[in-house]
Amino acid sequence: MFESLANWLVFDLLSIAKDSQLGGSLQFFVMDITKIFFMLVLIIYLMGLFRSFVSPEKVRSYIQGKSKFTARIMAILLGAVTPFCSCSSVPLFIGFVEAGIPLGVTFSFLIASPMINEIAVVMLIGIVGWKIAILYVLSGLVVAFVGGMIIERFKPERWVEDYVWKIQMGQAPTIEADNSLNARHRYAYAEVKEIVGRIWKWVILGVGLGALFHGYFPEEWATSLSDKNNFLAVPMSVLIGVPLYSNAVGVIPLAEAMLLKGVAIGTTLAFMMSIAAISLPEIMILRKVIKWQALALFTAIVTVSIIFVGWFFNIIT
């Protein structure tokens, strides 16, 4: 459906030659843009409906008092389905600490939340197919699980700012919430408006870059990155990805172009994950609650886990 729309618009209406570089790029751009926006609106709406049932306050009380293994699994799954605006990570962190949830579990949550989100999954399904989308989600879960576990070994409690331990969480009474379906619909609709309003530029930019590379990706780059036996390709792409920051959305079209040009799957996944999982703004915000040693450790462990995931996928594919 989206492909024929793009074909019609680019080749028939604008009558650009099918085999030209410009035609190829443009058709690809139109096709992806329409497809992605359609899916984004649909999925964000459905997730918004779902999210009107699950709040972090509820998450906290679910996890509280569970065994460490169960708590971690739940924290990661809930982190995956509930993306939080990064300005919420401080109250979230304090809330978890206050509930006596182990720090390692909190870190698992903090890793899973930005890395796995419905927008990334939509873009992946729409652009590179559901198989890689599933692989991406699974490896995200693994990185969050293992990363949090390793961080715990370093006893990160000593790096938590003192005031955090002193905060007592209370519970104010709640206004009787409007739980009607209509209210949930309005919530979901507001989510769509807010999220699409915020990310549309990035989607267009990302798809635009992807389309550009689709027509113009330099062959030499691709071949140097695409050699599976090139052991260094994964760490190289992760080291490029870590300082880059995008909310997993902008980078996916680029990933598609990389895959199309034969860059190995593990290398591509690792690149995407490193961009999504670690972001400077989030680190700066978390600095309010933990010292830089813990943040450096967090960054290092996540980076290394992602590199291993990349190698793993390169080996099995």
Partner 1 sequence: MIEVKVLGSGCANCETTMKLIEDVTSENGIAINLEKVEDMAEIMSYGIMSTPGVLVDGKIAHAGGIPDKKTILGWFSSSCCPADDNCC
Would you tell me which residues interact with partner 1 (CB under 8 A)? 55-57, 60, 84-85, 87-88, 90-92, 94-95, 98, 163, 166-175, 178, 183, 186-187, 189-191, 194, 288
- Give the Å distances, CA to CA, from 216 to 121, 155, 223, 264: 26, 48, 14, 19
Say how far apart CA 29 and CA 210 lie, in whole Å: 8
Please identify, using beta-carbon distances, which residue of 157 and 191 lies nearer to partner 1: 191
Please identify, using beta-carbon distances, which residue of 161 and 227 lies nearer to partner 1: 161
Residue 156: CB minimum distance to partner 1, A: 19
Please identify, using beta-carbon distances, which residue of 56 and 241 lies nearer to partner 1: 56
Please identify, using beta-carbon distances, which residue of 54 and 315 lies nearer to partner 1: 54
Residue 255: CB minimum distance to partner 1, A: 28
The three-state secondary structure class of 227 is: coil
Q: State how far Cα 290 lies from the chain centre.
A: 23
Residue 88: CB minimum distance to partner 1, A: 5
- Closest by CA to 59, choosing from 115, 120, 114, 105, is 105
Please identify, using beta-carbon distances, which residue of 60 and 214 lies nearer to partner 1: 60
Please identify, using beta-carbon distances, which residue of 154 and 200 lies nearer to partner 1: 200
H or E segment and range at residue 64: none
Phi then psi for 263, rounded to 5 degrees? -65, 140
Residue 59: CB minimum distance to partner 1, A: 8
Residue 95: CB minimum distance to partner 1, A: 4
Instruction: Give the other-Cβ count within 10 Å of 296's Cβ.
Output: 12
Residue 89: CB minimum distance to partner 1, A: 10
- Closest by CA to 107, choosing from 117, 96, 120, is 96
DSSP character string of 261-283: TT--HHHHHHHHHHHHH--HHHH
Residue 206: CB minimum distance to partner 1, A: 21
Say how far apart CA 169 and CA 164 lie, in whole Å: 11
Residue 24: CB minimum distance to partner 1, A: 38
Say how far apart CA 134 and CA 140 lie, in whole Å: 10
What is the gyration radius of the CA atoms in the chain, in angstroms? Answer: 21
Please identify, using beta-carbon distances, which residue of 13 and 172 lies nearer to partner 1: 172
DSSP character string of 20-49: SHHHHHHHHHHHHHHHHHHHHHHHHHHHHH
Please identify, using beta-carbon distances, which residue of 14 and 183 lies nearer to partner 1: 183
